[in-house]
Amino acid sequence: MAAKTSDISLAKTFITGLWEENPVFRLLLGMCPTLAVTAAVKPAFTMGCCVIFVLICSNIVVSLMRNLLKPHLRILMFTLTIATFVTIADLFLKAFNPIMSDTLGPYVPLIIVNCIIIGRAETCASKNNLIVSIVDAIGMGIGFTMTLCVLASVRELLGTGKIFEIAVMPKAFVPWVAMSLPVGAFITLGLLLGLVNQITKTSD
Partner 1 sequence: MNKIKNFFEQSWLLIVAAFCFGLLVAITNSALSERIEQNEREKLYSRMRALITDANNFEKALEQVPIPGKKGKIINTDIYKGLDDANNVTGYAFVAVGSGFADKIKIVIAVDDKCEKFLGFKVLSSNETPGFGSKIIEDNFGNQFKNVLAGKINLSKVGDPQVIDSRIVAITGATVSSQAVVNIFNTYIEEIKEQLQTKEFIKNGS
**What letter would DSSP give residue 67?**
T
Closest contact distance (angstroms) between CB of 82 and partner 1 is 10
Minimum CB separation from partner 1 for residue 169, in Å? 16
For partner 1, which is the closer residue by CB, 56 or 135?
56
When the beta carbons of 49 and 77 are compared against partner 1, the nearer one is 77
Residues facing 167 on adjacent strands: 162
| Those residues with Cβ within 8 angstroms of residue 14's Cβ, 6 or more apart along the chain or in another chain | 135, 136, 138, 139
The size of the chain, in residues, is: 204
* Rounded CA separation 145/149 (Å): 6
Q: Which is nearer to partner 1, 29 or 117 (CB)?
A: 117
Phi-psi region of 99 (alpha: psi -120 to 50; beta: other; left: phi over 0): alpha
Single-letter amino acid, residue 83: A
Return the number of the residue (67 or 202) whose C-beta is nearest partner 1.
67
Using CB under 8 A as the criterion, which residues of the chain lie in contact with partner 1 when the complex forms? 39, 65, 68-70, 73, 76-77, 80-81, 83-84, 87-88, 91-92, 94-96, 98, 102, 105, 159, 177, 180-181
Amino acid, single-letter form, for residue 99: I
Output the smallest distance, CB 106 to partner 1, in A: 8
End-to-end CA distance of the chain, in Å? Answer: 30
Least separation in angstroms between CB 162 and partner 1: 13
